[in-house]
Chain A
């Protein structure tokens, strides 16, 4: 079986480890080994250290089968959405390994059926549950319903209605000025000056403070409460 490889058993996140478990692919037994149901992937290794891993996103479904008419031993059934070679290609090898033994609906979707038969039948439920848990850790990234992009925070309707959250403090103009530190006032003047300057560079109007006039107030004690650009529209023809 060319898909069997040698690799170390998973060390982290192993939810269930089941020794003495036979692995079967389709109709072919792969031997007895240990099944590792880990959070990252499902792995099986035989006694010589050869085995394979299955990624959860490729697993379509898994089930506990106790129907001895369907299969003579109770087992964990795993259907995988991928192609695995079961036997050596017999006749003329096709390009890309297309045609193998299965029927024509393989070109729609490849399917491989694995069965894990533990010697301890009572472990099947635990194996099944462990797989359910691990599978849930790998939601489908290609979900068409792209609205599943939710942040962790629940939409708190009540808080929204009452306008809770950060309540900023507002100051009125006069109040705000009295709260300004010396540094704050200097900043205020500088900004006002910048504003005036940008305006005055376009319009040369009376009443507009230029950069020069701002410097007069740099001691920070007096602030002119009149709006800086009051003169901006003084020579406008339209009376508002």
Chain B
């Protein structure tokens, strides 16, 4: 749930559904990969490029062989689907993430703290 330190990544996230994936950190779900393999695990991080890091993964390769992986990092390019767990309220999650981004952006508040330019309403 940590908001990226990069302005570019925050902007990308804010304008795409990656923001939803960033809101489900900590949830266990299945990620379907482009090559038809699947990874079931706990989402530990999703960045703006949809690179996904999962922990405690049950990985089923495209031939159906199953193995356990402690930590898995999939590049965004190779992600086909991310299943959103049933218990997740999608709208609320997106709104919460947007709020977190705005908190970072407007640190100090709109009406509090020093401003670089005098505001029109205070003239």
Contacts and interface: CB of A to CB of B under 8 A. Distances in A.
Nearest to A77: B69
Contact of B67 (A69, A139, A158, A163): A69
A63 B75 contact: no
Contacts of B120: 162-163
Nearest to A167: B117
Contacts, number: 101
A187 interface: no
A148 B12 contact: yes
Nearest to B16: A145
Interface stretch (B19-27, B57-65, B92-100): B57-65
Q: State which size class the interface on A falls in.
A: 35 or more
Contact of A128 (B15, B71, B77, B110): B71
Given A59-B75, A70-B68, A145-B16, A162 B119 contact: yes
Contacts of B73: 61-63, 128, 131-132, 135
A63 B11 contact: no
B81 to A, nearest CB: 15
A164 B67 contact: no
Interface of B: 7-8, 10-12, 15-16, 33-35, 47-49, 51, 53, 57, 59, 62-63, 65, 67-78, 105-106, 110, 117, 119-121
7 contacts: A60-B35, A77-B69, A105-B62, A136-B49, A150-B15, A152-B8, A162-B120
